[in-house]
């Protein structure tokens, strides 16, 4: 299913909806109005209705949203109801932390191969996956399909790694490589950890 | 200096401006038009002018922005020209990765104390800082001023840690604790690592 006119801002909010709805589910809330959901999420009720109307609505006038249903719908829209095979390139401290984070919190994204060029890392296991050298990783990609690549390599290695992955038809890249990637035909999330810290520092210096 | 009407969206974009301007500086670009900067950042020229007008402008009609000057101005606006004393609570894999990330890339945020309740972590050093137990950490906070707390504790520990920190007048919390915090008088950035991954998965499933 295609939703042609959905803005990046809406797509960025979908995981947040999913998180809040999951929390409501865990607290045994079965139904919520857009007003209540808006209060929880620091949005306006009209913004929530607009956001969800991009995907067909889901609410009933005067009756609100079914929490279970809306959670599942948003998971479906995101594609989080499916499993993905991921590979990780670069597995220092951050890579290891991310691998464990996914294993604990997003088990539908399964890391099936890990590569690091540092020889002292080879053979070591992270989340039960043995770290490969470049040659082993090339061979892995030749005979396995990977959906998502998680990159924690330094900026100077990034282009070489991207070349290898795109040659193997990777669909998405979760990029912690500090340099923004933009690749035709490949979905990319460029993550800059310190952006949220810098915004925090702004608010420390400019309290409301 | 106060900028009263600056929206969260603008504050979130400031670190991105700073990153791009730093890159331009490194490439010895000294002057850039809002159009060129817009192209690089996937924004519109008018959005850039509007964003920067929140803080007084900085451009000259028909002449563009001085890269050096704009970089420094944005650093000043964010408060990234100053030093901050940070404490870290929870220092597993993610905490260690974040501590090393800051040490390498944002040296003005200095981690001066680290606490973890796991006894086998006590005395171990991360970025040259010895991991404290709770008692040592309490004593540290009693006699030192901390600006920022970096939290990588599990959700069930979060409220206790927040109570301790707010009692010691913490100004800002960079929260990786998976549960959103909202604390009166304290700046908070709630970070959810997998949000950007879920957006990525959306784009994999809905290619343009």
**pLDDT tens figures, B119-162:** 999 999 999 999 999 999 999 999 999 999 999 999 999 999 99
B93 contacts chain A (CB < 8 A): yes
Q: Is the pLDDT of residue A74 over 80?
A: yes
Instruction: Read off the pLDDT band of B203 (50, 70, 90).
Output: very high
pLDDT at residue number A208: 75
A174 contacts chain B (CB < 8 A): yes
**Shortest Cα distance, chain B CAs vs residue A117, angstroms:** 19
Residue of B nearest to A81 (CA): B201
Q: Is the pLDDT of residue B61 over 90?
A: no
**What is the rounded CA–CA span in Å between residue A29 and residue A25?**
6
Please state the φ and ψ torsions of residue A14, each to the nearest 5 degrees. Answer: -55, -45
Q: Is the pLDDT of residue A150 over 90?
A: yes
Share of chain B above pLDDT 70, in %: 97
Residue B130 CB: number of other CB atoms within 10 A? 12
B97 contacts chain A (CB < 8 A): yes
- State whether ipTM is beyond 0.85: yes
- pLDDT averaged over every residue in chain A: 94
**What is the rounded CA–CA span in Å between residue A187 and residue A77?**
16
Token pair belonging to B126: 């991360």
Interface test with A, best of B26, B169, B194 (most A CBs within 10 A): B194
pLDDT at residue number A1: 57
Q: Are the beta carbons of A195 and B102 separated by less than 8 Å?
A: no
pLDDT at residue number B42: 87
Nearest to A54 by CA among A108, A104, A7: A7
Please report, for residues A47, B17, B18, B72, B135, the alpha-carbon distance to residue B14 in angstroms, rounded to integers and kept in the order given: 24, 5, 6, 12, 38
Q: Are the beta carbons of A79 and B188 separated by less than 8 Å?
A: no
A167 contacts chain B (CB < 8 A): no
Q: Are the beta carbons of A194 and B102 separated by less than 8 Å?
A: yes
| pTM of structure | 0.94
pLDDT at residue number A11: 95
Q: Are the beta carbons of A80 and B201 separated by less than 8 Å?
A: yes
B192 contacts chain A (CB < 8 A): yes
Q: Encode pLDDT of B157-187 as tens digits.
A: 999 999 999 999 999 999 999 999 999 999 9
Would you tell me which residues 98-137 of chain A have a C-beta closer than 8 angstroms to some C-beta of chain B?
Answer: 98, 100-102, 105-106, 109
pLDDT at residue number A159: 94
Instruction: Read off the pLDDT band of B58 (50, 70, 90).
Output: confident
Instruction: Read off the pLDDT band of A63 (50, 70, 90).
Output: confident
- pLDDT averaged over every residue in chain B: 94
């Amino acid at each position: 299913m295609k939703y042609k006119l959905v803005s990046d801002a809406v797509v960025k909010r979908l995981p947040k909806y999913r998180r809040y709805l999951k929390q409501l589910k865990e607290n045994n809330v079965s139904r919520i109005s857009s007003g209540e959901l808006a209060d929880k999420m620091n949005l306006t009720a009209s913004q929530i209705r607009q956001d969800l109307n991009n995907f067909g609505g889901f609410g009933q006038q005067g009756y609100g949203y079914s929490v279970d249903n809306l959670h599942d719908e948003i998971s479906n829209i995101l594609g989080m109801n499916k499993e993905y095979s991921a590979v990780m390139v670069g597995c220092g401290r951050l890579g290891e932390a991310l691998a464990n984070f996914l294993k604990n919190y997003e088990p539908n994204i399964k890391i099936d191969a890990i590569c690091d060029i540092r020889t002292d890392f080879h053979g070591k296991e992270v989340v039960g996956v043995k770290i490969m050298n470049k040659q082993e990783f090339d061979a892995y990609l030749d005979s396995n399909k990977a959906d998502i690549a998680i990159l924690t390599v330094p900026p100077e290695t990034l282009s070489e790694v991207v070349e290898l992955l795109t040659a193997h038809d990777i669909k998405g890249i979760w990029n912690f490589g500090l340099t923004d990637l933009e690749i035709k035909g490949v979905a990319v999330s460029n993550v800059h950890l310190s952006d949220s810290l810098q915004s925090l520092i702004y608010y420390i210096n400019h309290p409301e």
